[in-house]
Amino acid sequence: MKCKIYYKSMDQSSFIDNKIEAHSQYLSKLFENSPLSFTWSFTIKGKKYFVEAKCIGPTFEFHAQSNGRDFYQVLDIVYERLEKQMEKKHSKWKDKKVNLSADKVVDISLKRRERQLRDSSKGKKRISKGKSKRWAA
């Protein structure tokens, strides 16, 4: 996991760095086997704080941003948005992996059985000649 932190018009703080490192470490546990790269950007314009976060993986990219007057509140909002996106992707990936491994055999046999029932109800037989197949009445 790589974590880059950029400050624009702000002083760097070790407390913020440690908090961001901890957040990034926690989020990277969702995708343990994937190399992740986090980029955090903090900016202050007038009395507003702008926080932006990006997470880049091998086949995905997540982005979250927010702004407001309270820096820590804005930071928490961005973290929650990023976490929500990553958890959604992780749950979809996990469900897809489970469905592919467990249901693949069942799906193939069910499709074959449904095709046989459909063909028998129509009174048609399937005749094969070589590689091509055609329907006979």
- For 84-123, the DSSP string reads HHHHHHHHHHHHHHHHHHHHHHHHHHHHHHHHHHHHHHHT
The 3-state DSSP class for residue 10 equals coil
Average pLDDT over residues 104-126: 63
| pLDDT at residue 100 tops 80 | no
**What is the structure's pLDDT at 99?**
62
Residues contacting residue 70 through CB under 8 Å, at least 6 positions apart: 49
Helix axes 71-122, 14-28, angle to 10 degrees: 10
**Could you tell me the residue ranges of all domains in the chain?**
2-95
At residue 114 the predicted structure's pLDDT band, cuts being 50, 70 and 90, is confident
Domain 2-95 is of which CATH architecture?
A: 2-Layer Sandwich (3.30)
Average pLDDT, the chain: 81
| pLDDT at residue 126 tops 60 | no
Q: Of the ranges 54-63, 78-87, 98-107, which one carries the lowest mean pLDDT score?
A: 98-107
Per-residue exposure over 97-126, b if at least 16 CB sit within 10 Å of its own CB, e if not:
eeeeeeeeeeeeeeeeeeeeeeeeeeeeee
Give percent of the chain above pLDDT 70: 74
**What is the structure's pLDDT at 108?**
57
Dihedral of the CA atoms 119, 123, 129, 130 (nearest 10)? 10
